[in-house]
Amino acid sequence: MLARALEAAGIATTSISMVREHTEKVKPPRALFVPFPFGHALGRADDPALQHRVLRAALDLLGEPEGPVLRDFPDDAEPGTQPAAPVQASAVAPAAAVPDDVPAEAARMRGYHDQWLARSGGRTAFGLTGIPATRFRGAIRFLEGFAAGEDADMPERPADVPLPGFVRWCADDLKALYFEGHLAMKPAAAGDEVARWFWGETAAGQLLRRVRDRLDGSDDPQWKAAAFGVAR
């Protein structure tokens, strides 16, 4: 829809498709289908040559005056052995002895996250809630209260953001704090390894499982949708 609106304003668009059948039905003006797994739209990680080839192929479609145009990226450009996406909570059994003090654990992870920020030049996925890491203990207490069935809320929740949406934001920031902190400890760790560590060995992972269970137990479609994003 966005592509069509831009095209109507005289701006040519191009896109990358990972599900050919959907693209055939939607019929965007120009699209490049890539034979890669989800999470790898540009191909394998740490392969800039392949990624530039994908981008160039997508941008070359701008030379097509009319659409819909759907092109296939060469099948021989396989993305490697990376999994389609990091493993989800439902596929990971918790370890026998998982810590249960999320605030203390998160305080330790914040130190590693500071290292991540220093190494990445400040690049981070943390910050969706607008609550700084130095005050994120309050968001953790909010998630704990929510998971326990309390009528929990935070003054930082914008008036136009429904409660389940803000719960999802808090969960996403918590995961970003841990995932990026873990990469500071183990820079070579793959996404699947980091996810298995988070869902299987951390107190935060177990907290988000409980948050998911409360959301999913509701009859409200918005709550159930948020549960899917918090801990699949």
**Token pair 């209260």: residue:** 145
Give burial (CB, 10 Å; 0-12/13-18/19+) of 50: buried
Strand-pairing partners, residue 126, are: none
Residues of the chain with pLDDT under 50: none
**CA distance linking residue 61 with residue 224, whole number of Å:** 39
Residue 41, pLDDT score: 84
Residue 76, pLDDT score: 59
SS3 content of the chain, % helix, strand, coil (to 5): 55, 5, 40
- pTM exceeds 0.75, yes or no: no
Quote the tokens at residue 219. Answer: 């009859």
Residue 190, pLDDT score: 80
**CA distance linking residue 94 with residue 196, whole number of Å:** 9
Residue 171, pLDDT score: 96
Sheet (strand 30-33) strand order: 15-17, 30-33, 69-72
